[in-house]
């Protein structure tokens, strides 16, 4: 069984359903409202755990109802929450998601306790990193903490996966040198490389730029089209499964969590793991909400058009 440790964000999402995004100064009536667990890190952890990876989490919540809610949700998913600490100074992170009738979303985030994760938290969580095949991080927690975590992971031979989301430009170059696999979408890829992703040649150029910055392998996800991957020895494009999207929230997080559950530590089965992750994401977008929509392994394998990587 693959062991995955995730350093990341924990949010409670409020989903506001609207016909379309409002114009400046406009008032629109909502057609629905839901509250669900979220946060890129927590979503990825639940996706990994539901795909049957042994999963542990490094994060922080507030001493508030949302924090208690998220602890219960992660524990119910059989995630090791030993390294989720509680802050007495900030509230649990929250996200407010505007979801339109086409299934597209715009998201506002209050980082809350996610921004309080410190290097000391990484030092306390070293045993969780030691036990992992993969350490995954995103950009919803402090970059200095992620850098410390990746330094430690590489010192003990753990493969690192970086989801550079939301996109940032002020990266310490060392972070990419410590990254074995980076997984941006087309927007995040452009932010990191300055290359606009419009077709496969531009994906290849962006991937080369990231490899030149020190990462070992690149996956650029392009939504409903699929994902492009490149290493120093191989490259390719894996098409997405065609479905009718209801809500794209957590599609990328599902992809990364599901991917990590199937990967070999040397990334030798990258293409087959991407196909598995594409299938998982295609199921996520057909349901409403982040964590409620993330599929279990049995659902991913149910129709027989995908197998474990």
Q: What is the pLDDT, as a whole number, of residue 141? A: 97
Q: What is the pLDDT, as a whole number, of residue 196? A: 96
Taking the C-alpha atoms of residue 93 and residue 303, their distance in angstroms, rounded to an integer, is: 36
In a domain, 308, yes or no: no
What CATH number is attached to the domain comprising 60? 3.40.1190.20
Other Cβ atoms less than 10 A from the Cβ of 113: the count is 28
Taking the C-alpha atoms of residue 294 and residue 253, their distance in angstroms, rounded to an integer, is: 9
In a domain, 211, yes or no: yes
pLDDT in tens, 50-89: 999 999 999 999 999 999 999 999 999 999 999 999 999 9
In a domain, 240, yes or no: yes
3-class DSSP assignment, residue 249: coil
Q: What is the pLDDT, as a whole number, of residue 309? A: 67
In a domain, 309, yes or no: no
In a domain, 147, yes or no: yes
- Number of domains into which the chain is organized: 1
Does 268 belong to an annotated binding site?
no
The verdict on whether 100 is a catalytic residue reads no
Does 128 belong to an annotated binding site?
no
Element (H, E) at 219: strand 217-221
In a domain, 307, yes or no: no
Does 41 belong to an annotated binding site?
yes
Does 141 belong to an annotated binding site?
no
Does 224 belong to an annotated binding site?
yes
Q: What is the pLDDT, as a whole number, of residue 226? A: 96
Does 284 belong to an annotated binding site?
yes
Domain that holds residue 78: 3-21+32-301
Taking the C-alpha atoms of residue 131 and residue 153, their distance in angstroms, rounded to an integer, is: 10
In a domain, 306, yes or no: no
Does 287 belong to an annotated binding site?
yes
246-276 residues labelled b (16+ CB within 10 A) or e (exposed): bbbbbbbbbbbbbbbbbbeeebeebebbbbb
Q: What is the pLDDT, as a whole number, of residue 125? A: 98
Ranges of the chain whose pLDDT falls below 50: none
Q: What is the pLDDT, as a whole number, of residue 246? A: 83
H helices of the chain, in order, are: 40-50, 65-76, 119-124, 126-130, 143-155, 173-177, 186-193, 200-212, 251-262, 270-284, 297-301
Cα–Cα distance list, 269 to 202, 212, 225, 246, 263 (Å): 24, 22, 21, 30, 6
Nearest to 42 by CA among 94, 3, 107: 94
Cα–Cα distance list, 72 to 67, 69, 168, 218 (Å): 9, 5, 31, 34
Identify the active-site residue in 133, 199, 253, 305. 253
Query: For the whole prediction, is pTM greater than 0.85?
Result: yes
Taking the C-alpha atoms of residue 152 and residue 79, their distance in angstroms, rounded to an integer, is: 22
């Amino acid at each position: 069984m693959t062991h995955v440790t995730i350093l990341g964000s924990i949010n409670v999402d409020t989903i506001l359903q609207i016909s379309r995004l409002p114009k400046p100064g406009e008032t629109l009536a909502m057609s629905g409202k839901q509250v669900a667990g979220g946060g890129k890190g927590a979503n990825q952890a639940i996706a990994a755990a539901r795909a049957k990876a042994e999963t542990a989490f490094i994060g922080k919540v507030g001493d508030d109802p949302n924090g208690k809610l998220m602890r219960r949700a992660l524990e119910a998913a059989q995630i090791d929450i030993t390294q989720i600490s509680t802050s007495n100074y900030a509230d649990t992170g929250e996200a407010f998601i505007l979801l339109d009738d086409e299934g597209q979303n715009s998201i506002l985030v209050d980082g809350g306790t996610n921004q309080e994760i410190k290097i000391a938290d990484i030092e306390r969580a070293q045993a969780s990193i030691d036990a992992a095949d993969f350490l995954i991080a995103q950009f919803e927690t402090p970059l200095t903490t992620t850098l410390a975590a990746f330094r430690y992971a590489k010192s003990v031979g753990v493969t690192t996966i970086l989801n550079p989301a939301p996109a940032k430009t002020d990266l310490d170059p060392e972070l990419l040198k410590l990254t074995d696999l980076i997984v941006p979408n087309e927007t995040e890829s452009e932010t990191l490389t300055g290359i606009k992703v419009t077709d496969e040649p531009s994906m290849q150029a962006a991937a080369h730029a990231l490899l030149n910055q020190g990462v070992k392998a690149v996956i650029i996800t392009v939504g409903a089209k699929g994902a492009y991957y490149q290493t120093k020895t191989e490259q390719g494009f894996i098409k997405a499964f065609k479905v009718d999207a209801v809500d794209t929230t957590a599609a990328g997080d599902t992809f990364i969590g599901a991917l990590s559950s199937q990967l070999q530590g040397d990334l030798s089965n990258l293409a087959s793991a991407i196909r598995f992750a594409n299938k998982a994401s295609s199921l996520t977008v057909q349901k409403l909400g982040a964590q409620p929509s993330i599929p279990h392994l049995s659902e991913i394998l149910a129709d027989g058009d995908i197998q474990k990587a």
